[in-house]
Structure 1
Amino acid sequence: MSSPWTLPELPKDVGYDIIGDVHGCGNTLCRLLELLGYRVRSGVYRHPQGRKVVFLGDIVDRGPRIREALHTVYAMVEAGEAWMVMGNHEYNAITYCRRNRQGTDFLREHSPRNNRLIIETLSQFANYPDEWDHFLGWFMELPLFLDQGQFRVVHACWDTRLIERYWQAYTSVYLNESLLHESVHEGTFAYQVIERLTRGILLRLPEGMEIRSGDGFVRRAFRAHFWARDPQTYGDVIFQPDNLPDDLEDQMLSVFEKQQLAYYALDQAPLFIGHYWCEGIPAVMAPNIACVDYSAVKYGRLVAYRWDGEKCLDADKFVWVDVLREEFPNVGALPNLLA
């Protein structure tokens, strides 16, 4: 069945290089593009054979060269050499910097946790406030998902039933002001859409249990994937580098938890996702699903998948560069960009 939401239209006669979460690793991104055969012409990375790039979002936050990475990606998108979907960190940046309609507060709370997540981005744009405002406007123009017909991309989770409901309600792959302001209120449909597409499926841990993740945050939920046909336990769906406490992987999923899951069937088009902090050697998650986030900003790998029309994805199509520790200078302090 053809999808009614194929917007914007991507060319069907070229190969695509799908690149995972950059998180400010600007030099590493340039090294990966050059390894893939892209060269700078007229200030933009272009491929001599006409290949295009699809970025899976999360260009901002955490890394040492966020501004440089954004300029590289933006130039490619504006020149028609690349496309990009919205990641949760681009969405976070919009809501962190945007006030509510009453002008009394920001859409995203300026809590210690949220400040910590965006500190590097704001620090690196402290002397370039006009650029930052421009990029915030551009983030609003990013699609939440793309369906090229032969393949699909979304930052975290493709939930077909939810996307169909969303399309009926909004008939657009882009954020608008109404959707943005509604999406920060838990329990709304807009909140559910943004959470699912950009953050994926989160299952709450049993009362009193928590995970202290590798980045220092305490979490009381875990990330679950969406390609298990008939999952029975937590271990059947967990998809994150942090282990569950105690023997929770053997815990049976409740009926309510199963209802929260999605399933991406094997007969659907190849799907590419980021977001999940994978580790080790890149591998396909299912015959038609590949994750290309391999923890670049944690000295992992910045990964691309070279797609050339295949319906069954092949681990040999991954290309990556290791992230070097010497690319990370000291971090800065949070500036007052939002006075």
Structure 2
Amino acid sequence: MEGYDLIGDVHGCGATLAALLEKLGYHQRGGVYRHPRRKAIFLGDLIDRGPRIRLAVTIVRRMVEEGEAHMVMGNHEYNALAYCHPAPRQLGREWLREHSPRHNRIIKETLDQYRDHPAEWDETLAWFMEIPLYLDFDAFRVVHACWDQELIDALERECPRGIIDEPFLCQSVESDTLAYRVLDRLTRGVHLPLPPGVEIHSGDGFTRRSFRAHFWAREPHTWGDVIFQPDNLPDDLEARELAANERARLPHYGLDQPPLFIGHYWCEGIPALPTANIACLDYSAVKFGRLVAYRWSGERRLDANHFVWVRVPQEEAARPRPWEIDFD
């Protein structure tokens, strides 16, 4: 083993994923992408939005089941599990995740692409339940959105190896439970609410009343010190002072801790490192950005030269189409 190739949010860009794996030196043998000296680690959010969701899931699932890759759960896998799971009677609704217009829109592409393959979708949901929420290899760590050691320790006591069970999933939709705090923090990160009446109208068509904050600023003072998303804060809110309760919600991942790999945050442009020991690998592939990998080979201090990516072109004819892929 030379090391690991960590790959960011795929969001249904299955053909692009195949092209990236080929670029990294993985090749199909027996229907599984393999590398002679490395393994892949996927940072979650395989599904939703993109044109080849089933292909993306098939590639990754086969790699994981054959021991060629690992994966952590993203918020979109969690959302799918809750969306498709009947709610306990005491909740007073039909599904764990309500089938609201917003939620319907997010999962629409996934359900459309699996509509003629219901058994495959059921198997995919069952596989999602086997995916851990985090990976700690001692030398480096992986989580979809935010590493919160206190919550990870609590999760480990309830669900060894970070793999949730059905009772934990059911508890996760009730905001006063440990399950809710764990799933929310590890797969969605920290969200700070905007002032009443203030909204962000995102490029993906959603209206948001909070913003995504990062967790590695040592002594943040303002909202601008912690915002981590493509959408700017309206007006002069970047200069707004962090309140004591807001600062208390932010865990801190220090430079003395092992390298950490995350996705989730819709970065844009050329991949860069926010700190010397943290790499975000979500570069908006499904928004015609980049599907990004980081080639880790044991280094304690990360190196931006180790990023590898494939662009996702808007022109249909220019999109990667590896002809050898035929999993249907």
TM-score in terms of structure 2 length: 0.94
Q: Name the SS of the counterpart of 1:222 in structure 2.
A: strand
Give the corresponding residue for 1:28: 16
Residue type of the alignment partner of 1:82: A
CA distance in structure 2 between the aligned counterparts of 1:242 and 1:111, rounded to whole angstroms: 24
List runs of 5+ in structure 2 lacking aligned partners. Answer: 318-328
Q: State the partner residue of 1:262.
A: 251
Q: 1:204 aligns with which of 173, 179, 193?
A: 193
Partner SS, residue 303 of structure 1 = strand
> Is residue 70 from structure 1 mapped to residue 70 from structure 2 by the alignment?
no
CA deviation vs aligned residue, 1:98-136 (integer Å, no higher than 9, x gap)? 101339611000000000000000000010000000000
- Does residue 52 (structure 1) correspond to residue 66 (structure 2)? The answer is no
Structure 1 residues 1-339: aligned runs within 5 Å? 13-48=1-36, 50-102=37-89, 105-327=94-316
Give unmatched runs, 5+ long, in structure 1: 1-12, 329-339
CA, structure 1 residues 24+327, in 2 after alignment: closer, same or farther (shift >3 Å)? Answer: farther
Distance 1:169 1:97 in 2: 23
Cα distance in 1 between the residues matched to 2:303 and 2:123 = 38
Q: CA deviation at 1:187?
A: 2.4
1:207-247 deviation per Cα after TM superposition (whole angstroms, max 9, x unaligned)? 11110111011100000000000000000000000000100
Partners of 1:258 and 1:71 lie apart in 2 by 41
Identical aligned residues as a percent: 63
Offset, 1:167: 2.4
1:285 to partner: Cα distance: 1.2
| Deviation per residue, 1:167-214 (Å, 9 max, x gap) | 234444101111100001122221011000000000001111110111
Classify the secondary structure of the residue corresponding to 2:310. Answer: strand
- CA–CA distance in 1 between the matches of 2:3 and 2:47? 26
SS in 2 for 1:285: coil
Alpha-carbon separation, structure 2, partners of 1:88 and 1:227 = 21
* Conserved 8 A contact 1:87-1:198: yes
Find the counterpart in structure 2 of residue 334 from structure 1. Answer: none
Count of residue pairs the alignment pairs up: 315
Q: Would the alpha carbon gap of residues 327 and 183 (structure 1) be closer, same or farther in structure 2, given more than 3 Å must change?
A: farther
CA contact (8 A) 2:159 2:165 kept: no
Aligned-CA RMSD value? 1.2
Matching residue of 1:8:
none
* SS of residue in 2 equivalent to 1:163: helix
8 Å CA contact 1:61–1:117 kept in 2: the answer is yes
Q: Compared with structure 1, are the counterparts of its residues 130 and 251 closer, same or farther at alpha carbon in structure 2 (3 Å cutoff)?
A: same
Work out the CA distance in 2 between the residues paired with 1:314 and 1:101: 48
Distance in 1 separating the partners of 2:232 and 2:185: 22
